[in-house]
A and B are shown apart, each in its own frame.
Chain A
Amino acid sequence: MPKITLSYPDNREPAAFTQGELGWLPWLEPFLVEELTETHWAGLVDASRAKSPYFLLLARDPDVLQARTKTDKDIFYNTSSGLPRAERELAATATSRANGCIFCASVHSRFATQYSKRKDDVQRLLDEGVGTDIDRRWNALIAASVALTNTPIAFDHRQVEALRAAGLDDLEIVDVINGAAFFNWANRLMLSLGEPTPPAKARAVG
Chain B
Amino acid sequence: MSSIIPDVIDHLAGIRPGSSLDRLRDQRPQARENAQKSYLALFQPEFPGDVTALERYAVATFVAGLHRQPHLVDFYAADLQTLGSSEISAALQAEIARGSVEGPYGRYPLGPLTIEKVEGPEYRVSAEHKDRLGPRLTAVLEHAHLLVFHPRDASPAALQKLLDAGWTTTDIVTLSQLVSFLSFQIRVVAGLRAVAGASAAAPIDAEFTQILTGVLASGTV
Name A173's closest neighbour in chain B (CB-CB). Answer: B195
Contact call A148/B187, Cβ cutoff below 8 A: yes
B31 touches A6 (CB 8 A): no
What's the A-B contact tally at a CB cutoff of 8 Å? 220
- Asked whether B168 lies within 8 Å of A1 as measured between CB atoms, the reply is yes
Are A189 and B176 in contact, with the CB atoms below 8 A? yes
Q: Is B88 among interface residues, defined by CB-CB distance under 8 A?
A: no
Could you tell me which residues of chain A, from 145 to 191, have a CB within 8 Å of some CB in chain B?
148-153, 155-157, 159-161, 164, 170-171, 173-175, 177-178, 180-182, 184-189, 191
A48 CA / B30 CA spacing, docked (Å): 21
Query: B-facing mask of A22-33, CB < 8 A → 1, else 0?
Result: 000001110000
Partner of B160, one of A5, A13, A160: A5
A15 lies within 8 A of B112 (CB) = yes
CB neighbors of A among B104-129 (8 A): 104, 106, 108-113, 116
Among A3, A129, A187, A188, max chain B CB count under 10 A is at A188
Q: Determine the chain A residues whose CB is within 8 A of the CB of B37 once the complex forms.
A: 63, 66-67, 70
A5 CA to B173 CA, complexed, in Å = 13
Question: How many B residues are at the interface, by size bracket?
Answer: 35 or more
Given contacts A5-B159, A29-B169, list 18 more A-B pairs with CB under 8 A: A15-B109, A27-B155, A67-B38, A71-B30, A71-B38, A78-B28, A100-B116, A129-B116, A152-B68, A155-B194, A174-B21, A174-B24, A175-B28, A178-B31, A184-B180, A186-B180, A191-B152, A192-B158
